Amino acid sequence: QQQVKQSPQSLIVQKGGIPIINCAYENTAFDYFPWYQQFPGKGPALLIAIRPDVSEKKEGRFTISFNKSAKQFSLHIMDSQPGDSATYFCAASKSGAGSYQLTFGKGTKLSVIP
């Protein structure tokens, strides 16, 4: 059972565009939602994270929007650059029993063309 569904699988945007990556979760116990960026040959790097008590969080060009009632959250990348070309993963974790793990989406491969 895939607990975090991520879409699209791949995305191509032009430089300056705003790619949007969406994730949906099933487990209402999830209460921490990070996004990771991964370049080929590297480990995932934490980009930004949100908790369900806020609906939006911005860090630089990256914004997370969170809709608790719909159990969805999304990543927006403003003014995208070719250097943003990477694979992006959403994830979720929960407090309480079994809380010491991240459940990941399948990833979105983003290509930003000049």
Partner 1 sequence: KAGVTQTPRYLIKTRGQQVTLSCSPISGHRSVSWYQQTPGQGLQFLFEYFSETQRNKGNFPGRFSGRQFSNSRSEMNVSTLELGDSALYLCASSFTGRNTEAFFGQGTRLTVV
Q: Catalog residues that contact partner 1 under the rule CB under 8 A.
A: 31-32, 34, 36, 41-46, 49, 51, 89, 91, 93-95, 98-107
Task: Count Cβ neighbours within 10 Å for each residue of 1-23 and write b for 16 or more, e otherwise.
Answer: eeebebeeeebebeeeeebbbbb
Distance CA 89, CA 27 (A): 18
Distances, alpha carbon 47 to alpha carbons 50, 70, 97, in Å: 11, 23, 26
CB-CB contact of 42 with 33 (8 Å) = no
CB of 25 to partner 1, least distance (A): 14
CB of 15 to partner 1, least distance (A): 28
Whichever of 16 and 98 has its CB closer to partner 1, that residue is 98
Whichever of 43 and 83 has its CB closer to partner 1, that residue is 43
Whichever of 17 and 106 has its CB closer to partner 1, that residue is 106
CB of 18 to partner 1, least distance (A): 25
